Amino acid sequence: MGKNTDREKILVVNPGGTSTKIAVYRGEKSELSENVRHGAAELAKFARIYDQLDWRLEATRAILARAEISLRDLDAVVGRGAALAPVPSGVFAVDAAMLDAIRSGRVIVHHASELGAPMAHALAADSRCPAYVVDPVSVDEMLPEAKLTGLPQVPRRSLGHALSVKAASRHAAAQLKRPLSELDLIVAHLGSGITLAAQRRGREVDHNDPTATGPMAPTRAGGIPSLDLARLCFSGAKSFEEVERLLVSNGGWKAHLGTDDIREIYPRIDAGDAKARLVIDATLLQIAKEMGGLLAVLRGHVDAIVLTGGVARSERFVKELEERVAWIGAPFIVIPGEDEMLALAGGALRALRGEAEVMSVGPYLKLT
């Protein structure tokens, strides 16, 4: 149990591709929220993502010092989890097995999230408190038949916005005043990447990998014709790294329209930009098709469709999407914005209060 049994103090660190989000919670109430932006020139100085560790830690400690927050007063530090291995949903201790795997580069995909655990560990060491990660991107509750593809060498991977999807599912259950274990939900995380998930009684039994499949998104290409992608890869015109950036960072709306901001796109549509209208219509259609597929996974029974993520702040986008999938007959629950920081803090609180088992990633690493 933490030092403050009813008002635990939690530091949250969430490293992203171009920013580091930092928050301090007292219980579930935010006492500090900062988003440190990192410029492309700064990031270009580092050959590997892991090389950014000390630099990001220095920025984090500076913010805490300016806010006069002492690391000695913390009950726990929690970071965003990396894609280390397929794992169950829940809370994981930042231990030697996790840190060694990240340090040695044994991740499924490289992303700034791999800095979350080592940052949490370093900051927790100053406070002598536990360090955790919660619902990392490689949470795997998918049905076996959902992973199979037509190529045995290329199965579908369970990678997605598990932290956001799980948090939104819990919020939806609270709004519906029913246990999550009784609900079937379609959950859409609408961010720079889009994850659509079938939640069957609390388990994420199927979802798209936003780096490879599903709808186009603000910065991600989504699913594209595989043979044409193979031709591009073998054309010699682009390196692997350039293709990866096209698919994950510079695809989707950004590729078509030069912006990933829905707040810029609708004014362009209203000004008569036919291409902007077409791109949004294509995105809405692709999301609706994906939801239809998840309806089949849930065998036609859906208690609610849950939308979260930054794009869910656009009432117009939500309305247009609702019109396309009204035939499903399920109510819409909209939880706009990304509540990742509170979701991370909530996982740490459950661990401190003995409401959640604290697991080790070690046994799962041995299976990969």
User: 9-141+341-365 has which CATH code?
Assistant: 3.30.420.40
pLDDT in tens, 304-314: 999 999 999 99
So what's the pLDDT on residue 366? 85
Which residue carries 């939880």 as its tokens? 335
pLDDT in tens, 42-56: 988 998 999 999 999
So what's the pLDDT on residue 339? 80
Residue 4 has pLDDT above 50, yes or no: no
* Average pLDDT score over residue span 112-120: 95
Sheet strands (E) in the chain: 9-15, 19-26, 29-37, 76-79, 91-93, 131-134, 184-190, 194-200, 203-207, 304-309, 332-336, 358-359
Residue 237 exposed, middle or buried by CB count within 10 Å (0-12, 13-18, 19+): exposed
Q: Confidence class of residue 1 from pLDDT cuts 50, 70 and 90? A: very low
So what's the pLDDT on residue 2? 43
* Average pLDDT score over residue span 327-338: 93
- Separation between Cα atoms, residue 358 and residue 304, nearest integer Å: 30
Residue 275 has pLDDT above 60, yes or no: yes
User: 161-340 has which CATH code?
Assistant: 3.30.420.40
Name the more confident of 2 and 316: 316
Residue 286 has pLDDT above 70, yes or no: yes
pLDDT in tens, 15-37: 988 889 999 999 989 999 999 98
Q: How many residues can be counted in the chain?
A: 368
DSSP state of 70: -
pLDDT in tens, 205-228: 999 999 899 999 999 999 999 999
Q: Confidence class of residue 111 from pLDDT cuts 50, 70 and 90? A: confident
- Separation between Cα atoms, residue 230 and residue 19, nearest integer Å: 32
Residue 5 has pLDDT above 80, yes or no: no
Residue 132 has pLDDT above 50, yes or no: yes
How far apart are the two ends of the chain, measured CA to CA in Å?
Answer: 33
So what's the pLDDT on residue 16? 85
* Average pLDDT score over residue span 146-159: 95
- Separation between Cα atoms, residue 64 and residue 82, nearest integer Å: 24
pLDDT in tens, 223-258: 999 999 999 999 999 999 899 889 988 999 999 999
Tally the C-alpha atoms within 13 A of residue 249's C-alpha that lie toward its C-beta. 12
Domains 9-141+341-365 and 161-340 share a fold: yes
Q: pLDDT over 90 for what percent of the chain? A: 86
So what's the pLDDT on residue 126? 84
Mean pLDDT over each residue of the chain, to the nearest integer: 94
Residue 317 has pLDDT above 50, yes or no: yes
Q: Confidence class of residue 191 from pLDDT cuts 50, 70 and 90? A: very high
So what's the pLDDT on residue 354? 96
Q: Where are the domains of the chain?
A: 9-141+341-365, 161-340
So what's the pLDDT on residue 6? 57
Q: pLDDT over 70 for what percent of the chain? A: 98
